[in-house]
Amino acid sequence: MISEPILGIIMMCIMIFAIFIGFPVAFTLMALGVLFGFPSMGWTVFDLMVQRSFAVMNNDVLVSLPLFMLMGYVMERAGIMDRMFHSYRLLFGPLPGAIALATMFVGTIFGIASGIVGAGVTLMGVLALPPMLRAGYSVELAAGTITSTGTLGILIPPSVMLIVYAATAGVSIVKVYAGAFGPGFLMSGLFLLYIFVICLIKPSMGPPLPKEERNVPWSTILWEVAVSSIPIGILTFVVLYVIIVGWTTATEAAAIGSFLAFLIAAGYGKLNWTMTAESVRLTGRTTAMVCWLFVGASLFAAVFARLGAQAKLEEWVLSLGLGSSGFLWVSQLIIFLLGWPLEWTEIIVIFIPIFLPLLKTFEIDPILFGVMTAVNLQTSFLSPPVAMAAFYLKGIAPSYITLNQIFNGMYPFLAIQLLTLFLTWYWPEMTLWLPRYLYGE
């Protein structure tokens, strides 16, 4: 007779195998929850599924998810970033690696405004890759710059991933946002520093903008920078400020951000029915996917705990004799490996709940754990053999650019991400000081 904890472990193994071979994740989780829960819980397992569905619909944090997504999709579909990129390309023109610096700078702003990785890589690839190749940039530097800047939306608020983590962990989204500022802007700054230094040392990798292209009066350049930056700057400042100082909830701030995004699109003359319908459609599709994942994962986790498998896993981890740092790095290594075959949504919703009960035992702040997880999941987007950011870029790049060239370009930026992960662990106050300063202990 197989014990219930062993049944729970078998259920998890089947779940991982089913996801790897391509079964829909949310419905796989629900089916396994019902299948393995019915023998011990009977018809109650269906009551539990209904309760979990209502719990997801009543989750206040998740309400902000579709609104932030809508804000990001409107910014992307309206083509607002095109003008900003071209203005910053002229502004940085005399500097080594001018186009790459403009790409990283604008990509960081878009990451703040959208928080959608695939959209960030695709948009910056379309905008920045052709001019970099025409200017004779190294393919590796161009690829590394675009793929790395596209991942910043995972970490820099208002990150959609951090919303999902806060809902999963039951922590304050505003505190998680406040904690993410330090590591997020540190990483972006290190990216910019690396691009500038490598192009200064090896000018052939990223030359300045040709003189004939930057033969534009400075007054015109500064006007273009102001016109393209001020509206988006106001949007991001307003959204983040009202959240951080506590004037609004994250949901209300997301509603304000969505409204301002539509106003900016209208101001640029880009607001039309086609753009609006496409933005709403993409928002609805992504939100439905995340919410069904929450329902499935919640049912799966409840049955997993009911069978006693969660307690067995906790006992096994405690028996290893790991300290706080040991547990933190082992959990981050598992998350890093899961980032190859799985999307971040699946990792946050399915696997993070396994680690959460142990955070209190090892005296790890859940905000620090969440920010480290966000940094870690960025590395998975740049880590071969899967490295989804590389495949996003390959889909829009010229056919002569190979995946190996893209991978080679990502390695220096991957090293910077790992350095940021280490610094986030080594200096936890970089993450925790702002939440403590703003909201106290």
**Cβ-proximal residues to 441 (8 Å cutoff; 6+ apart), any chain:** none
The number of C-alpha atoms within 13 Å of 82 and in the hemisphere containing its C-beta is 9
Return d(Cα 14, Cα 8) in angstroms, integer.
Answer: 10
440's torsion region: left (phi>0), alpha (psi -120 to 50) or beta? left
The DSSP string of 345-407 is HHIIIIIHHHHHHHHHHTT--HHHHHHHHHHHHHHHHTSTTT-HHHHHHHTTS-TTS-HHHHH
Number of H helices and E strands in the chain, helices first, is 21, 0
**Cβ-based burial of 347 (10 A; exposed 0-12, middle 13-18, buried ≥19):** buried
The pLDDT score that the predictor gives to residue 296 is 80
The pLDDT score that the predictor gives to residue 37 is 80
In the structure encoding, which two tokens stand for residue 275, read together? 């753009």
DSSP-based three-state secondary structure for 52: helix
DSSP-based three-state secondary structure for 38: helix
In the structure encoding, which two tokens stand for residue 408, read together? 């080679």
Cβ neighbours, 10 Å, residue 238: 16
**Tens digit of pLDDT at every position of the chain (441 positions):** 677 778 777 877 887 787 777 777 778 888 888 888 877 777 777 877 787 777 777 777 677 778 888 887 887 777 677 778 888 888 888 888 888 898 888 888 777 666 565 667 777 788 888 888 888 888 899 999 988 887 887 787 777 788 888 888 888 888 888 898 889 889 989 999 999 999 999 888 888 888 777 788 888 888 888 888 888 888 888 888 887 777 887 788 888 888 988 988 888 888 888 888 888 888 888 788 777 877 887 787 778 777 777 777 777 777 777 788 888 898 888 888 877 766 777 788 778 888 888 888 888 899 999 999 988 888 877 877 667 778 778 877 888 888 888 888 889 999 999 999 999 999 999 998 888 887 765
Return d(Cα 230, Cα 227) in angstroms, integer.
Answer: 6
Query: Dihedral (C-alpha) 212, 78, 74, 278: value to the nearest 10 degrees?
Result: -140
Compute the residue count for the chain. 441
In the structure encoding, which two tokens stand for residue 108, read together? 């960081």
**Cβ-based burial of 191 (10 A; exposed 0-12, middle 13-18, buried ≥19):** buried
In the structure encoding, which two tokens stand for residue 44, read together? 């109650």
Domain positions in the chain are 4-439
pTM as predicted: 0.81
Return d(Cα 90, Cα 225) in angstroms, integer.
Answer: 9
Return d(Cα 224, Cα 240) in angstroms, integer.
Answer: 24
Computed on alpha carbons and rounded to an integer, the radius of gyration of the chain in Å comes to 23
Query: Dihedral (C-alpha) 140, 146, 147, 150: value to the nearest 10 degrees?
Result: 170
The pLDDT score that the predictor gives to residue 119 is 64
In the structure encoding, which two tokens stand for residue 337, read together? 């490996």
Cis before 158? omega within 30 = yes
The pLDDT score that the predictor gives to residue 268 is 80
**Cβ-proximal residues to 263 (8 Å cutoff; 6+ apart), any chain:** none
